[in-house]
């Protein structure tokens, strides 16, 4: 892909944001630092194979092997013991981050059933955006026949923007389909 999102950011989005927000220095322009994707798998306490299936899905979707998150303490009510696997997380930076963002914006989000755009109310007040997906089948890499259970995931886009207004402008220029 010769015209990557990073190249588009440097050539087109940066100058537009400088003009829109009157930045004095090019380093003030907000940029995307990292994208974290995570999934909590509560049923992994009873069935360990669920974790293996999710690791495979995350590897296909992101091109990077996820880290397994484990419990910090035992909770008898949830049948959870200390140091048990209960989730996965992946942190994407640089090229893999831009590749994933491109795939998310242009291929995956439009595949959501009855899709009318994503909400603008999921910013955290510091310029970061959180997106929750209900099903993993919107990604082209996931084969529908090999899925045992539909599971969602959380996608967190971390930016250097000072506020939500700057972050919204940045993500809109990348082509995020907001309502």
Per residue of the chain (179 residues), what is the pLDDT tens digit? 445 888 888 888 888 888 888 888 888 889 889 999 998 887 766 677 778 888 888 888 888 898 988 888 777 777 777 777 788 899 999 888 888 888 888 887 777 777 788 888 888 888 888 988 887 777 767 766 667 777 788 889 999 988 888 888 888 888 888 88
Total domains in the fold of the chain: 1
Residue 118's beta-bridge partner residues? 178
Q: Please, which residues have CB within 8 angstroms of residue 72's CB and are 6 or more apart in sequence? A: 82
Residue 36 lies in a domain: yes
For 122, the domain range is: 5-174
pTM of the entire predicted model: 0.82
Contact between 92 and 159 under an 8 Å Cβ cutoff? The reply is: no
Q: Pairing between strand 85-92 and 153-159?
A: unpaired
Domain contains 179: no
Confidence at residue 2, expressed as pLDDT on a 0 to 100 scale: 47
At residue 161, the pLDDT reads: 87
Task: Tell whether 125 is covered by a domain.
Answer: yes
pLDDT for 1 equals: 43
Q: Rounded to an integer, what distance in angstroms lies between the CA atom of residue 10 and that of residue 91? A: 22
Nearest to 101 by CA among 111, 92, 112: 92
Instruction: Give the model's pLDDT for residue 145.
Output: 67
Is residue 61 included in any domain, yes or no? yes
- Write the CATH number for 50: 3.30.1440.10
Residue 26 lies in a domain: yes
């Amino acid at each position: 892909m010769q015209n990557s999102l990073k190249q588009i950011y440097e050539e087109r989005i940066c100058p537009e944001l400088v003009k829109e927000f009157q930045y004095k220095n090019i380093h003030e322009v907000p940029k995307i630092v990292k994208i974290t994707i995570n999934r909590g798998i509560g049923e992994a306490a009873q069935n360990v194979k669920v974790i293996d299936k999710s690791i495979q899905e995350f590897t296909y979707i992101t091109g990077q092997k996820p880290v397994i998150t484990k419990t910090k303490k035992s909770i008898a009510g949830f049948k959870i013991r200390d140091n048990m696997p209960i989730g996965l997380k992946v942190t994407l930076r640089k090229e893999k981050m831009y590749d994933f963002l491109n795939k998310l914006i242009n291929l995956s989000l439009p595949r959501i059933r009855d899709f009318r755009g994503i909400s603008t109310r999921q910013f955290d007040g510091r310029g970061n955006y959180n997106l929750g997906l209900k099903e993993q089948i919107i990604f082209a890499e996931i084969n529908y026949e090999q899925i045992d259970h539909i599971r969602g995931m959380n996608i967190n886009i971390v930016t250097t923007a000072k506020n939500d207004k700057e972050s919204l402008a940045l993500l809109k220029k990348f082509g995020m389909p907001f309502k």
